[in-house]
Amino acid sequence: MDDAPKTLLITLSGKDRPGVTSAVFSTLTGAGVEVLDVEQIVLRRRLVLGVLVTAPRDWKRLRAAVEETAAALDMTVDVDRGVGDNKTRAEGRSHVTVIGSPLKAVHMAAVAGRIADCGANIDRIERMARYPVTAIDLHVSGADTDKLRTLLAGEAATHSIDIAVQPANLLRRGMRLIVLDVDSTLIQGEVIELLAAHAGQQDAVARATEAAMAGELDFEQSLRDRVARLAGVPASAIDEVYDELVLSPGARTMVRTLRRLGYRFGLVSGGFSQITDRLADDLGIHYSRANELEVVDGRLTGRIVGDVIDRAGKAQALREFAEAVGVPLEAVIAIGDGANDLDMLNAAGLGIAFNAKAVVQEAADTTVNVPYLDTIMYLLGISREEIEAADAEAGIVTPSPPV
C-alpha cells in the first residue's frame, strides 16, 4: 500500500472559462483540506491552475473526485503526492523588466541564461505589455541586484533590447516623485534649436547642443553662447515655438496614469521657463525649474536672467522637489538624455536614460531606448491592461493593438 502523503499538488490546465476555479475549490471543500498555496495564470485563453493542499486520510478518493471534476470541465489534471510548500525566496530579490520591439525568443534565452549563470532563480514571469512594445517582468531571487544589472547590461547592448533591474522592495508600490528633463525627453527635439530658426542660426545651435548633450562642451558656457545667438528674436517666437512642440509618445498617458496613483512630477530643464512652465500647466505637473530668457522691449536680448540651471542645478532642483513632496531620494525617479542630466540621475533612487547619449546610458541605473515614454510605467509594475482599463473608466479611448 502507498505511504500516505502529507500534501497534494493539483495542477489543472485547459481552455479558460468562467467557473473553473470555483468548481475545483468546491471539490476540495468536500474533503476538508487546507489550502497551502495557489497560483493561476491565463495565457492565450489557456488556464493553468496549481493548488497545494494538505492530503486527507483518503487522498485517493479526493484524487478521483478532482479527476472527475477536470473531466467534466474538459481539462487535464495532475495530482502529485508529497510536494512540499514553496521555500522562502532566497536573499537578493529583484525585478527584471525586459522590453523589446520585437521581443524574440533569443532575447529571453539570453536573459534567462545570465540569470542562471549567477545562481539566481526566476520565481515568476508576468507580461506587462504586448503593444506597441512587448514588456515582460521577471521576479528573480538569489542574486545581488547590482551584479545582476551589470550582467544583463551586456545582453541589452548585444541584442538591442531594454533591460531594467530593480530591487524588489516596497518603494515600487509607494507614491514616488518623477523628475523629467524636457528637451528630447518629455518633448521631441530641442526648444533652443526651434528658437534659433527664427534667427537663422538653427544649424550652428544644433551642432553646439549636440556637443553639449554628449558632454563634449561645458554646459553653462555652451548655453550662454547659444542663447547669445537669439538676440533680437521677437518674444512672440516663444509662443510660436510652444505651438510647434511635440510631446514624446506616451507622455500624457504616463503623467495622467501616475497622477491617479498619487505620484508627483517635476520638470527640470536646461531650457527655458517660458516654455517649461506652460508645459507643466498643460500636463498637470507639480514643479518646474528652468532658465529664464531675458526679454526687453518685446525681443530676446541673448542673455539669461539669473544663474544657469546646469548639471549641478538640475540635481539641486530634484532634491528640493523631493523635500517639498516629503519623499526620500530613494523614492525619486529621474529621467533624462543628456550629460547635464547625469548628476540628477545619480541623485535619484532610480535614474533612467531615455533614448540618451552614450555617456548617459553608461552611467544610468537603466536605459529605455524605445520612443514611448509610458514604458516607464512597466518598470513600476503597472501593466498596459491596467492603464487602458483606467483610461476606459475615465472615458478615454485607446487604440486597439493589431490582432
pLDDT tier, 82 (very low <50, low <70, confident <90, very high otherwise): confident
Q: Which residues are catalytic, by number?
A: 181, 183
Same domain, 227 and 303: yes
Same domain, 209 and 236: yes
Strand pairing category for 7-15 and 35-43:
unpaired
Q: Among 173, 198, 226, where does a domain finish?
A: 173
Average pLDDT over residues 378-397: 92
Q: Quote the crossing angle between the two packed helices 202-213 and 219-228, to the nearest 10°.
A: 170
The mean of the pLDDT values for the chain is 92
Condensed to tens digits (0 to 9), the pLDDT of residues 297-306 reads 999 999 999 9
Q: Side chain identity at 172, as an amino acid letter?
A: R
Task: List the domain range (segments joined by +) for residue 132.
Answer: 94-173
Please check whether residue 397 lies inside any domain of the structure.
Answer: no
CATH number at residue 310: 3.40.50.1000
Tell me the C-alpha to C-alpha distance, in Å, between residue 125 and each of 89, 160, 311.
15, 21, 38
Same domain, 349 and 212: yes
Condensed to tens digits (0 to 9), the pLDDT of residues 102-125 reads 999 999 999 999 999 989 999 888
Same domain, 223 and 347: yes
C-beta atoms surrounding 73 within 10 Å: 18
Q: Side chain identity at 75, as an amino acid letter?
A: M
**Structural domains in the chain (count):** 3
CATH number at residue 115: 3.30.70.260
Q: Is the dihedral of CA 324, 327, 333, 338 positive or negative?
A: positive
Which pTM value belongs to this model? 0.84
pLDDT tier, 1 (very low <50, low <70, confident <90, very high otherwise): very low
Please check whether residue 74 lies inside any domain of the structure.
Answer: yes
C-alpha cell at 145: 541586484
CB 162 within 8 Å of CB 156: yes
Condensed to tens digits (0 to 9), the pLDDT of residues 14-66 reads 999 899 999 999 999 989 999 999 988 887 789 999 999 999 999 999 999 99
Q: How far apart are CA 110 and CA 127, in angstroms?
A: 18
pLDDT for the residue numbered 92: 83
Ordered DSSP codes for 230-257: TTT-BTHHHHHHHHH-EEPTTHHHHHHH
Same domain, 141 and 285: no
Same domain, 191 and 300: yes
Same domain, 224 and 356: yes
Same domain, 59 and 110: no
